[in-house]
Amino acid sequence: MQSASSASTAPDGTLRRITVLSGGMGGARFLQGLLHGIRTGALPRVSPDAVVTVIANTGDDWWIHGLKVCPDLDTVMYTLGDGIDPERGWGRREETWSAKDELAAYGVEPTWFGLGDRDIATHLVRTQMLEAGYPLSQVTEALCRRWLTPTYGAGLRLLPMSDDRVETHVAVADAESPSGMRVVHFQEYWVRLHAEVPAEKVVAVGIDQATPAPGVLDAILETDLLVLPPSNPVVSVGTILGVPGIRDAVRTTSAPVVGLSPIVGSSHVRGMAEQMLTSIGVEVSAAGVALDYGARSAGGVLDGWLVDERDAAQVERVEAAGIACAAVPLMMTDHDATAAMAAAAVELV
Ligand code: GDP
Ligand code: CA
């Protein structure tokens, strides 16, 4: 383990700043529990006024029907702003689909990707602002003034990982292509192909030229605790870490870095972490993900790692790699259960 007590933590050991690298649904649900835990005083050492900064993946973003859509930013924003559809886990509550039906009546492709009417308003505001020259980070801040500021004030900030365009693509087998492969946008892999065909390769197009959005590196370097929530380690956290400069900041921050396993037993709970891990040759297990992230003491990004209680047998393997590890319940069934996960993360490092 890197450092038992971080240099940036207040002298009394109180944690006042927490930064989280988040994808969509898994990250958003964890954040709900974290914020609930802060509000209810359920997190040891965490100040009730602690500021949470979320750095969200934007590799899932794409342009569709002339609109810029940012699925992970919006899932975090709607979830924490109480506008999410709780059953779907994405998009707006009480959604209607007239625009989608009208587009289909025109025969406009792609018909497999539906934007809800309420959701479209968000994308219209975002697209207009981007076209007026505002960077995504400022657009996100403006959108969050509606969703987050009324409830959290300055206690919560949502930042895109980068203002630059980065789009994750997935290569799938295609017998008809000369290369034997075809590359589809991440959204097509997930929404149209339901992640049912094996992913041969995952590529974040544009990432090498991307720079971290304003505030991102500071939020990593000047925090008291950095958390990798149980987000997809490849296409959510992995993409964020892939933005030049971010992984180095995570490696060098004086704050402890703790992660929670998105794999419970031998599978992801929801989503497609399994497919993505397989595509990069990482063992689909809690320990497999931890070892892939690696210990900070060995050039990786973790000081601590939580596995689910049913994966307790893997704790030793993770610890042997130089990562503090504990087994606790990791199912985000409700806010209290998720707050308990956040508390365990705080306690571990
Ligand atoms: P996405 O962008 O919507 O796919 O969301 P994230 O990348 O933030 O998180 C998706 C991952 O969350 C999934 O691959 C799951 O492995 C994980 N996940 C979802 N629900 C739970 C849960 O209750 N417990 C744990 N440990 N992981 C979960
Ligand atoms: Ca996502």
Q: What does the alpha-carbon distance between residue 318 and residue 290 come to, in Å, rounded to a whole number?
A: 7
User: How many structural domains is the chain composed of?
Assistant: 2
| pLDDT score for 1 | 40
Supply the range of the domain harboring residue 146.
4-63+71-82+140-163+209-348
**Predicted confidence band of residue 259 (pLDDT cuts 50, 70, 90):** very high
What's the gap in Å between 26 CA and the centre of ligand 1? 3
For ligand 1, what atom is nearest to the CA of residue 272? 14
- Residue 282 belongs to a domain with what CATH number? 3.40.50.10680
| pLDDT score for 9 | 57
pLDDT digit string, tens, across residues 191-218? 999 988 888 899 999 999 999 999 999 9
Q: What does the alpha-carbon distance between residue 338 and residue 341 come to, in Å, rounded to a whole number?
A: 5
| pLDDT score for 150 | 97
Q: Answer whether residue 297 is part of any domain.
A: yes
Pairing of strands 263-264, 156-160: unpaired
| pLDDT score for 11 | 65
- pLDDT average, residue stretch 323-333: 98
User: Which range among 21-25, 218-222, 266-270, 343-347 shows the weakest confidence by mean pLDDT?
Assistant: 266-270
275 and 203 together in one domain: no
252 and 172 together in one domain: no
175 and 283 together in one domain: no
Residue keyed to tokens 């049912």:
196
Position 69 pLDDT exceeds 80: yes
For ligand 1, what atom is nearest to the CA of residue 232? 7
| pLDDT score for 337 | 98
| pLDDT score for 270 | 79
| Mutation to probe ligand 1, out of 54, 270, 328 (largest number of atoms < 8 A from CB) | 270
196 and 256 together in one domain: no
**Predicted confidence band of residue 20 (pLDDT cuts 50, 70, 90):** very high
Q: What does the alpha-carbon distance between residue 30 and residue 52 come to, in Å, rounded to a whole number?
A: 12
Q: Answer whether residue 112 is part of any domain.
A: no
Q: Answer whether residue 130 is part of any domain.
A: no
146 and 289 together in one domain: yes
Name the closest-CA residue to atom 12, ligand 1. Answer: 26
| pLDDT score for 2 | 41
Beta carbons within 10 angstroms of residue 82's beta carbon: 11
| pLDDT score for 21 | 99
Mean model confidence pLDDT for the chain: 94
What's the gap in Å between 202 CA and the centre of ligand 2? 14
Name the closest-CA residue to atom 24, ligand 1. Answer: 331
Name the closest-CA residue to atom 21, ligand 1. Answer: 269
| pLDDT score for 12 | 77
Contact call for residues 26 and 79 (beta carbons, < 8 A): no
Q: Answer whether residue 190 is part of any domain.
A: yes
236 and 226 together in one domain: yes
pLDDT digit string, tens, across residues 266-292? 787 877 788 888 888 899 999 999 999
Q: Answer whether residue 299 is part of any domain.
A: yes
For ligand 1, what atom is nearest to the CA of residue 57? 2
| pLDDT score for 115 | 95
43 and 155 together in one domain: yes
Instruction: Give the tokens for residue 257.
Output: 């870095």
Q: Answer whether residue 39 is part of any domain.
A: yes
- pLDDT average, residue stretch 158-173: 96
216 and 270 together in one domain: yes
Position 8 pLDDT exceeds 70: no
| pLDDT score for 10 | 63
What's the gap in Å between 270 CA and the centre of ligand 1? 6
CA atoms within 13 A on the CB side of 82: 6
Backbone angles phi, psi at 309, to 5 degrees: -60, -30
150 and 38 together in one domain: yes
- pLDDT average, residue stretch 75-82: 98
Position 299 pLDDT exceeds 80: yes
Task: Answer yes or no: pTM beyond 0.85.
Answer: yes
pLDDT digit string, tens, across residues 110-140? 989 889 999 999 999 999 999 999 999 999 9
Q: Which segments of 106-199 does DSSP mark as H helices, in order?
A: 117-131, 136-147, 149-152, 186-187
End-to-end CA distance of the chain: 8
